[in-house]
Amino acid sequence: MASPYIEIPVGDRLVKVSNPDKVYFPEHGYTKRQLVEYYIAVGEGILRATRNRPTTLERWPAGVFEGARMATREDYARGQAGYGAGKSDAFYQKRVPKGAPDWVRTSKIAFPSGRFADEVRPTEVAVIAWAANLGTLTFHPWPVRDGDVDHPDELRIDLDPQPGTDFSDAVRVALGPARELLAELGLTGFVKTSGKGGVHIYVRIEPRWTFTEVRRAALAFGREVERRAPADVTTRWWKEERGEQVFIDYNQNARDRTIASAYSVRPAPHAPVSAPVTWDELADVDPHDFTIATMPDRFAKVGDLHAAIDDRAFSLEGLLDLADRDERDHGLGDMPYPPNYPKMPGEPKRVQPSKDTDNRS
């Protein structure tokens, strides 16, 4: 008979793990206990990525099995976003769960709708382990710190391969025009695999710009990379226009849009993780090699490759100057926001081109 729960020491805490032998990843038989132990093993790294940041929990309490799915907007509308009979198998937890221990801290954040929520704010590895026991595979921290949740301290560059392209294409863009532009701007980027097929680059920035300004800087970065590699890169928001290119998702810098943190586990059968890598090794890595089974040994050997990310915060002025130039010299204004946003100032019409009747001849 499976044990109903165990207690694992994490720092000064004892974290209860219920149903520790429950299989979360059937392909290799990885259990909930192994998930929790993974996060403890990389605790220093995952905490650096999430510490004092409001963090959305991507919960898969039934595990990753054939047919499992994330909740859709329709599920939320029907009140079926959550685990249980007749409901989706996975969901995003944007408010601190009921019954959380008193040592789980929160941050109050505002959504684009104007509504507010108290989100989990990790302050110690025990919080990560506690969340993993709830079935949290992926941690989605906001690019802000508690105390100033309206001014991001992180620029996030998401290189997302589209159908017909793959990880190697994202790597080529990262090591070529993206890295080149970072160097020209005097910015230090920290790179990681997405845990799926893409590449993420993080730049620590001074927390003195709004979400709107940081998103504008990300769009300017994407457009400049696109100019340098037009056959390989696109910033077009509508999927029907992207083609077989790597999409630089500037909207990942909009309020309430988040990226899987470094060391986060992704919901795929082989339990991959989002892995920090060095620029020098990026060309040769295989993202499938980084899993909850392999990352602890790597972490023990090389440590947290993002350990220096907080050593210096950079200015966005160079990128905002690029954005001004784009608008002044090229007539390039704003681009569409995600669909859950209210209409934003200066935003073009939010309708995909094939459905835009005004542009039909």
Q: What is the pLDDT of residues 219-258, one digit of tens each?
A: 999 999 999 999 999 999 999 999 999 999 999 999 999 9
Identify whether residues 96 and 240 lie together within a single domain: no
> Is residue 340 situated within a structural domain?
no
Per-residue pLDDT at 87: 53
Tell me the residue ranges of DSSP E strands in the chain: 5-10, 13-18, 23-25, 30-31, 55-59, 91-93, 105-110, 116-121, 136-141, 154-161, 190-193, 199-204, 233-234, 246-248
Q: What is the pLDDT of residues 93-103, one digit of tens each?
A: 999 999 999 99
Residue 92 reports pLDDT greater than 50:
yes
Identify whether residues 38 and 114 lie together within a single domain: yes
Residue type, 99: G
Identify whether residues 17 and 120 lie together within a single domain: yes
CATH number for position 249: 3.30.70.3300
Give 282: exposed, middle or buried? Use CB within 10 Å, 0-12, 13-18, 19+: middle
> Are 323 and 216 within 8 A, CB to CB?
yes
Cα gap 155→139, rounded to integer Å: 17
Minimal CA–CA distance to 35: which of 140, 133, 177? 133
Where helices occur in 174-271 by DSSP H, the ranges are 179-185, 211-228
Q: Which domain holds residue 88?
A: 5-149
Instruction: Write the CB contacts of 184 (distance below 8 Å, at least 6 apart in sequence).
Output: none
- What global pTM score does this model have? 0.94
Is the C-alpha dihedral spanning 296, 300, 301, 304 positive or negative? Answer: positive
Identify whether residues 23 and 144 lie together within a single domain: yes
Per-residue pLDDT at 2: 54
> Is residue 214 situated within a structural domain?
yes
pLDDT band (50, 70, 90) for residue 85: very low
Identify whether residues 40 and 71 lie together within a single domain: yes
